[in-house]
Structure 1
Amino acid sequence: MTSAQQPAPARPTSRDVARAAGVSQATVSLVLGDKWHGRVSDATAQRVRERATELDYRPNLAARSLRLGRTRTALLVVPALTNEFFARVYTGAAAVAAEHDFGVVLYPSPDGTGPARDPFASARAALDGVIASSMAADALGALHGAELPLVMLDSDPSGPEAAAHVNLDITDGMRQVVEHLLSLGHRRFVHLASAVDTWTFAVRAQALHDALRNVPDAVVDTVRAPLDVRAGREATARVLDTDGPRPTAIVCDDDILAAGACKAVRRLGLRVPDDVSVTGFDDLALATAVEPELTTVSLPAERVGERGMRALLAVLDGRPAEPGSLPVELVVRGSTAPPPVVAARS
């Protein structure tokens, strides 16, 4: 028999790893399935991983999936594929999924907030669970019907049927925005609010009004706009091009609306931030592409995706998901300054 005809060497099995590590096959399964915590010592787990690496052992995922009745696939539902925030959520979820030999299917909900259709003939037959980011409460009816574990991201924690929630501290983010603008001397505000009816935007509006409620001379008007630059520009132009005292600060629900607000200010012959300060929310790449760069709230989107995937894995294993909201941080840049009267006094 020639070398070309020689059979390929047999792939190492879990029994080979167990023999090399001096443990049982059950221990190998626990360690390589990441279920060893509290059952196997750290030293033994490390030894098993080292022997598996040395032997170039690859688990038979198809056989494991059949044995467990799982597909090792999660569905990530987002309002849109064009928004950078959701791309970063996917990046975080996919990174954690890869560590656990899971795949993530990304699925945009039609028309932004739903209702989401079942992307498969039967989601139950194709998926182990669903992660939904920034969705309306009633947008996932078809997937709820599949009786799959559901993890909600950036969504109403009192919403029904979710096995776990992962949220950002949106309230604190808006509080930071308001405190920053108040400290600069602003008292006349416009809230350029998203016209999308979701929990996260409702929280931003509530937090803004709560933060200004006890400021006697503060005034805030709200104007709504769809989430695009043109709509933000047109809504801002209508607010600024009127008789009466002009607002000195425009607080926007996201960076896209803020970019539109900045365009409106310039087209009216005004300046950001000398005449009007503008703030955003999200800290997208757009925030540093505009001039002046946006003061905005930075949201750790990748961490949202990471924690969401870990929460789904915990639910599938019968463990509690990690509690608590993720912190956010105000990033102060060039789009905010004292209002004209305060600046003149200084």
Structure 2
Amino acid sequence: MPTGSTPAPRPTSKDVARAAGVSQAAVSLVLGDKWRGRVAEATAGRIRRAAADLGYRPNLAARDLRLGRTRTALLVVPALTNEFFAGVYTGAARLAARHGFGLVLYPSPEGTGPARDPFPSARAALDGVIASSMAADVLGAIHGDALPVVMLDSDPDTVPATATVNLDLDDGMRQVAGHLLGLGHRRFLHLAADVDSWTFRRRAVALDGLLRGRPGTTLATARAALSVEAARAATEQALGGPAGHRPTAIVCDDDIMAAGACKAARRLGLAVPHDLSVTGFDDLTLATALDPELTTVTLPAEDFGARGMAALLSLLDGAVPDTTPLPVALVARGSTAPPAA
């Protein structure tokens, strides 16, 4: 009666320890990426080489069962009509996959505010939550505050989070203001998002601190919802004064609002950038679809999402996450120029 060959037994951590001449505890620390400061770097390299030579793969299912892990995280964002949050998800999901995690995307139905709990028990279904400040109210609805929470674009001093990851919004506004001041602008309008969110409050505070009280410089503010039409209407109203006192530069909280400002300028017979310079924030695809193309601040959405996921993984491993603000950069295009004489 023919018999098949018996498959070779799967290598164990004990086999790796024996091959590397170390203890199983050292193998566990190195392959669990918790060895720094506890195992010598040369020893860690020897353990990794032994594991690779033996074809050893840790039993994630057993480890997760022991730790009570689901290897699932939740990303809470506003409605996915905004291209920026699609990039945040892409970056977070890519890093999650490399670590064997699944990432559930949960958009807030109305963009902000509470929503129905998508899980019978968030604690039982999830290891942690990553949430945008624009959808922070959802955390209460899903009882996410009982889990490790990483907040994106949030006040590190007041939000109920285990860690916060932010973009360097202050520097973004500093670059915008410096660019426009360098071109000679002194009369500014801030077209501000009418959204109660830290990210937009931070932009307003930063711009105000840079321009308010500067000799010969004025700063007015107009508020609008995050839509082209709302921004257009608010801009038309704000530009309705005498030409000699009209702003020569509009600083917009995002690119969608900047598109509305450009639309308002055309309706009023003003040329961008000859009569009016306009800047955005985000560097969406829309920025290069406008004519002239939009001067804006590019935000590294995918890196931002990856940093949020990395922070959550660090929390789950008992490590201190990297919460250094991510750098942003001004991209100067055709929508800004020196003010007309």
Matched, 1:40 2:12: no
Displacement of 1:146: 5.3
Which whole-Å CA distance do the structure 1 matches of 2:30 and 2:79 have between them? 38
Deviates more, 1:212-221 or 1:16-25: 16-25
What SS class does the counterpart of residue 224 from structure 1 fall into? strand
CA pair 292-28 structure 1, distance change in 2 beyond 3 A: same
CA distance in structure 1 between the partners assigned to 2:11 and 2:21 by the alignment: 15
Distance 2:144 2:246 in 1: 50
Please give the per-residue CA displacement for 1:120-157, whole angstroms capped at 9, x wherever unaligned: 11100011111112336544213446510111111111
Corresponding position of 2:338: 338
Amino acid at match of 2:90: T
Greater mean alpha carbon deviation, residues 6-15 or residues 282-291: 6-15
**Alignment partner, residue 258 of structure 2:** 258
**Aligned position for 1:86:** 85
* SS of structure 2 residue aligned to 1:140: helix
Secondary structure of 1:96 counterpart: helix
* 8 A Cα contact 1:123 1:146, kept in partner: no
Does the C-alpha gap of structure 1 residues 22 and 101 become closer, same or farther in structure 2, counting only changes over 3 Å? farther
Q: 1:146 to 1:185 in 2, by over 3 A?
A: closer
Given that 1:137 and 1:156 are in contact with CA atoms closer than 8 Å, whether structure 2 keeps it comes out as no
**CA shift in 2, pair 1:14/1:40, >3 Å:** same
Q: Which sections of structure 1, spanning at least 5 residues, go unmatched?
A: 342-346
Q: Which region of structure 1 is more displaced relative to structure 2, 36-45 or 66-75?
A: 36-45
Distance 1:269 1:56, change over 3 A: farther
* 2: CA distance, partners of 1:19 / 1:321: 33
Secondary structure of 2:36's match? coil
Distance 2:233 2:156 in 1: 34
The CA RMSD over aligned residues, in Å, is: 2.4
- Cα shift at 1:246: 2.7
Contact 2:119 2:142 in 1 (8 A): no
Task: Check if 1:236 corresponds to 2:235.
Answer: yes
After TM superposition, list the pairs within 5 Å mapping 1:107-122 onto structure 2: 107-122=106-121
Amino acid at match of 1:339: P
1:123-138 correspondence runs (5 A): 123-135=122-134, 138=137
- 1:106 matched to 2:95? The reply is no
What are structure 2's unaligned runs of at least 5 residues? none
Task: Give me the whole-angstrom Cα distance separating, in 1, the residues matched to 2:188 and 2:62.
Answer: 60
1:74-127 per-residue CA deviation (whole Å, 9 max, x = no partner) reads 111111222222222222223332333222222112221222443211100011
Task: Name the count of aligned residue pairs.
Answer: 340
Match of 1:29 in 2: 28
Q: 2-side partners of 1:2 and 1:83: how far apart?
A: 63
Q: Which letter does structure 2 place at the counterpart of 1:151?
A: V
**Aligned-partner SS, 1:220:** strand
TM-score with structure 1 length normalisation?
0.89
Contact map agreement 2:288 2:294 (CA 8 A) in 1: yes
Q: Is the 8 A contact 1:116 1:141 kept in 2?
A: no
1:222 maps to 2:221: yes
Normalised by the length of structure 2, the TM-score is: 0.90
Tell me the SS of whatever aligns to 1:232. Answer: helix
Shift of 1:233: 2.6
Give 1:1-346 correspondences, 5 Å limit.
Answer: 9-135=8-134, 138-144=137-143, 147-241=146-240, 243-244=242-243, 245-341=245-341
AA at the equivalent of 1:331: V
Q: Is the 8 A contact 1:79 1:134 kept in 2?
A: no
Task: For residue 51 of structure 1, give the secondary structure of its aligned residue in structure 2.
Answer: helix
CA 1:103 to 1:49, structure 2 compared with 1: closer, same or farther past 3 Å? Answer: farther
Does the C-alpha gap of structure 1 residues 29 and 331 become closer, same or farther in structure 2, counting only changes over 3 Å? same
